[in-house]
Chain A
């Protein structure tokens, strides 16, 4: 189990490195220690967890030498997988993006206040009726019957 886990971890991290490259002072996504969070999150729903494991299994069997390939070959492999296995690819990309963009280091870099939407919510300027000045000039045009 432990070695299976680490193979999947290595493979996913390699995929993540190609999906989300290093930026600013952040390393590429595979180097950010996000694997455990991906596994935790995926396990929150059986359906998604199954999809995730099948997607990883499909990736592994389609591209057995991904880990040992050069970056440019890895990019080609990923493009081919995206084209031929869009649903599996989508599953992997979805969870990778979600986990990357819930990380506080990423929030700091993109200037995102990392709180969930509630309970704080956000602020907006109050409703201002003067925005209707032009719209109110129009005569009624609904169709009478």
Chain B
């Protein structure tokens, strides 16, 4: 889908790199305001009717062609990631919709306290904005993506009604919830960008197939190819797919002029633009900025602070699995996040760590997945095999601990000296170590989740103290701040060093909070788009 907007001038007002959660939101907003928008996306459109959940080979596909890990998926449009120095593997999807094609669509909001961690807890840094600054954008985003959930959660500020009621809890869910209530601990139905009833153009209600991390056949899960992109295209925005950006180009004064890219046929091209918006995610954006060195940006684009690629945050993530004596058909319903607990969200220094965590309640899947372990080890081979499968199938549930991640300089993305993608472009290399605070926080979460399973009557409990394939939240590698020596972009997402370069993905996060990031990423993307619309008329051709 290539177009030159029907004019000879190929220059666009806004060139967006990446068609995922953030790129789509900004494209819809900017194109609606009349900006000439083009998006370069290395991947392609997906056809939900071809998603692997409708194939008899779904268990195999989940581990290979539809793996969440690009190193395992290895499609041409993926890029490899060196993870030798990281206990956590980054996961993502590369295509129109970005990682929202595979996400589990749990959509909690940050707490007001998450923006003030320095002031409140003396750690990391405060954000240069507040919860109130983005509250309206959260609401706007909910409207387009469609949120199922319910008001009244005592752990979060009151907010506008969601678009749909929560997803059902099920008898399996009630088992965990009753245990939380016995312990007098908070729980609440999760907010999800999953339709509990039909919502949005051509989008059906969830039919509880479970395989939410493989693309949604029913279009019930909001991925941005189904939500924002149709709006953006309708407004005249253009996406070029199969277009892999090599570098953002700049002129002699250091201003962004567009991007060099390899098109779907392998032809090298240049897309001129009056401004560039980076939306390639917390790894892809840092990689591209580092690749975009020039005389005016010798250490990489917008990197005078030296912070591009630093402070990578994933969210420390542990998984506790419990097996119950009863059959509860735990494969019915979205695998992840039907309810959550924020009992231990806010800092309580008597626990021995700062910040906190959310519990996310998880279900299970079918026999192939259960046999191979699900969230824990594979069931044993040999004499006990059948007995163990019988015990676990339909009886296994899990609780995830997702902890606040604080920035640390040594956790980083840089360019691998050897590894490249299929176009020969240097691949990212990850260096990540779990901090002691994160370890203590996860251990606290594991201890209490074990108590929940014991209270609920689980007969076997398995612990994964740090889940490897849990790098789904990519944050912090081009963080925002007031001070250009200590941040990459300002509070509007505009690069301190380059006034026509904006960053709108999770790279800009100052801290990680203890919730999934995407509503916050999209709210910030909409806010940056509004800033451009209101203040940057100079970018219109």
Contact = CB atoms under 8 A, between A and B. Distances in A.
A21 B382 contact: yes
B152 A145 contact: no
B371 A41 contact: no
B389 interface: yes
A142 B157 contact: yes
A121 B155 contact: no
Contacts of B130: 145
Contacts, number: 177
A127 B169 contact: yes
A10 interface: no
A135 B112 contact: no
A44 to B, nearest CB: 7
Contact of A138 (B53, B54, B186): B186
A94 B372 contact: yes
A124 B156 contact: no
Given A110-B367, A121-B218, A138-B154, A145 B112 contact: yes
Interface stretch (A1-9, A53-61, A95-103): A95-103
A108 interface: no
A119 B74 contact: no
Interface in A106-145: 106-107, 110, 112, 116-129, 131-132, 134-136, 138-145
Given A78-B381, A142-B113, A117 B58 contact: yes
Interface in B383-407: 383, 385-386, 389-390, 393
A56 to B, nearest CB: 16
A102 B56 contact: yes
Interface string B37-76: 0000000000000010111111111011100000010100
B125 to A, nearest CB: 15
Contacts of A110: 367, 389-390, 393
Interface stretch (B209-217, B425-433, B449-457, B489-497): B209-217
A122 B332 contact: yes
Nearest to A96: B381
B112 A140 contact: no
A127 B368 contact: no
Given A47-B64, A94-B372, A102-B368, A122 B209 contact: yes
A18 B368 contact: no
Interface stretch (B160-168, B226-234, B270-278, B463-471): B160-168
B378 interface: yes
Interface string B200-244: 000000111111000001100000000000000000000000000
A145 B368 contact: no
Contacts of A47: 64, 72, 74
Contacts of B389: 110
A45 B181 contact: no
Nearest to A75: B382
Given A125-B168, A145-B120, A112 B55 contact: no
Contacts of A144: 112
B368 A97 contact: yes
B57 A44 contact: yes
A105 interface: no
B332 A135 contact: no
Given A19-B381, A126-B168, A141 B56 contact: no
A142 B382 contact: no
Interface in B97-139: 111-113, 115-116, 119-120, 130-131
A50 to B, nearest CB: 11
Contacts of A135: 154, 181, 186-188
A123 B55 CA distance: 19
Nearest to A95: B60
B146 interface: no
B58 A97 contact: no
B208 A122 contact: yes
A125 to B, nearest CB: 6
A64 to B, nearest CB: 21
Contact of B372 (A78, A97, A120, A136): A97
A105 to B, nearest CB: 13
Contacts of B211: 117-118
Nearest to A24: B386
A143 B168 contact: no
B170 A124 contact: yes
Contacts of A20: 381, 385-386
Contacts of A127: 165-169, 189, 196
A142 B61 CA distance: 41
Contacts of A83: none
A136 B153 CA distance: 7
A27 to B, nearest CB: 13
B150 interface: yes
A19 to B, nearest CB: 4
B53 to A, nearest CB: 4
B346 A142 contact: yes
A135 B207 CA distance: 27
Given A19-B382, A116-B53, A128-B168, 4 more contacts: A116-B58, A127-B196, A135-B187, A141-B186
19 contacts: A18-B381, A19-B385, A44-B60, A46-B74, A98-B60, A98-B63, A110-B389, A110-B390, A117-B53, A118-B54, A118-B217, A121-B209, A126-B168, A127-B189, A128-B169, A132-B152, A135-B186, A138-B154, A142-B111
Which 3 residue pairs across A and B have the least CB separation, nearest first? Answer: A121-B207, A117-B209, A19-B381
Interface of B: 51, 53-61, 63-65, 72, 74, 111-113, 115-116, 119-120, 130-131, 150, 152, 154-157, 165-171, 174, 177, 181, 186-189, 196, 206-211, 217-218, 329, 331-333, 345-347, 366-368, 371-372, 378, 381-383, 385-386, 389-390, 393
